[in-house]
A and B are shown apart, each in its own frame.
With several copies, the nearest count.
Chain A
Amino acid sequence: MQVSVKYFASLRELIGETTSIIHVEEGATVNSLWRSIIETKNVKFDNVMMAVNMEYVKSEHQLKSGDEVAFFPPVTGG
């Protein structure tokens, strides 16, 4: 199945992409997706925050086809 993935701020610059469509296996979690991304891109990134369909999720959250997944650093607004 496919999910769309967004990156923001310093992570967006590190990955060099804003959005991409990624194939994942049935049963994949947001964390397994994250692991495969940093392995493929060969990058290191601490304290990543994860959202699915614009809601924060835990790393063990299971993905569904068509999900919008977002990875980003700690937020610094306000």
Chain B
Amino acid sequence: MLVEIRKKSFNAYAEIQYYLDSLDIAGKYGATSNFVGSMRDFNKNKKVTHMTLEHYPGMTEKHLETIAKESIEKWKLLDVLILHRIGNINVGEDIVLVATWSSHRKDAFESCRAIMEQLKSGAPFWKKEETSAGDIWVEKNTPGY
């Protein structure tokens, strides 16, 4: 299990591969579900040019680790990877990555989606968007189900 907050931009697929290479689970997992959240150039019909992501150092990591641990237990996962950007983010860059490894696809799919929803609703991150209408704190996340 790995949870990391990243100040620098990352490549989601290189990160998954790099993490997977560090594990010894080949032949054990039959299903991997990944989610990658990336920065769009629009939100609610406004053009967005840039974003700043604030977090609560300490609590954010702790909160994500709890989500990851509980998911491993609930879905009997072989492993979980969560990466999340903070700081200055450019259009097209990846913001969040969740990967779950499981024997069966049902558990992989459900756990990956549930982790994203828990992260979205509870992990202390805040987005401020630079838009055509000025700098705006995002007020709430869109529903995921």
Q: In the assembly, what is the distance between CA of A70 and CA of B141, in Å?
A: 20
Q: In the assembly, what is the distance between CA of A54 and CA of B121, in Å?
A: 16
With A10-B126, A77-B96, A78-B125 already in contact, the answer to whether A72 and B137 are too (CB < 8 A) is no
Residues of A within 8 A of B95 (CB): 77-78
A54 touching B55 by the CB < 8 A rule?
A: no
B127 at the interface (CB under 8 A from A): yes
How many residues of chain A get a CB closer than 8 Å to chain B's CBs? 16
B137 touching A73 by the CB < 8 A rule?
A: yes
Nearest B-chain residue to A13, judged by Cβ:
B137
A78 touching B116 by the CB < 8 A rule?
A: yes
A8 touching B124 by the CB < 8 A rule?
A: yes
A78 touching B59 by the CB < 8 A rule?
A: no
Nearest A-chain residue to B137, judged by Cβ:
A10
CB distance from B6 to the nearest CB of A (A): 13
Residues of B within 8 A of A77 (CB): 53, 55, 84, 95-96, 119-120, 123-127, 141
A64 at the interface (CB under 8 A from B): no
CB distance from A28 to the nearest CB of B (A): 21
A9 touching B59 by the CB < 8 A rule?
A: no
Q: In the assembly, what is the distance between CA of A55 and CA of B124, in Å?
A: 11
Residues 50-78 of A at the B interface (beta carbon under 8 Å) = 51, 54-56, 70, 72-78
Q: In the assembly, what is the distance between CA of A7 and CA of B10, in Å?
A: 28
Residues 16-37 of B at the A interface (beta carbon under 8 Å) = 37
A78 touching B126 by the CB < 8 A rule?
A: no
Q: In the assembly, what is the distance between CA of A56 and CA of B128, in Å?
A: 22
> How would residues 61 to 93 of chain B score, 1 for a CB under 8 Å from any chain A CB and 0 otherwise?
011000000000000000000001000000000
Q: In the assembly, what is the distance between CA of A54 and CA of B124, in Å?
A: 10
B44 at the interface (CB under 8 A from A): no
A78 touching B96 by the CB < 8 A rule?
A: yes
Q: In the assembly, what is the distance between CA of A74 and CA of B125, in Å?
A: 9
List 5 interface pairs A-B (beta carbons < 8 Å), by A numbering. A8-B56, A8-B124, A9-B137, A55-B59, A73-B137
5 closest Cβ pairs, A-B complex: A77-B125, A9-B126, A54-B59, A76-B138, A78-B120
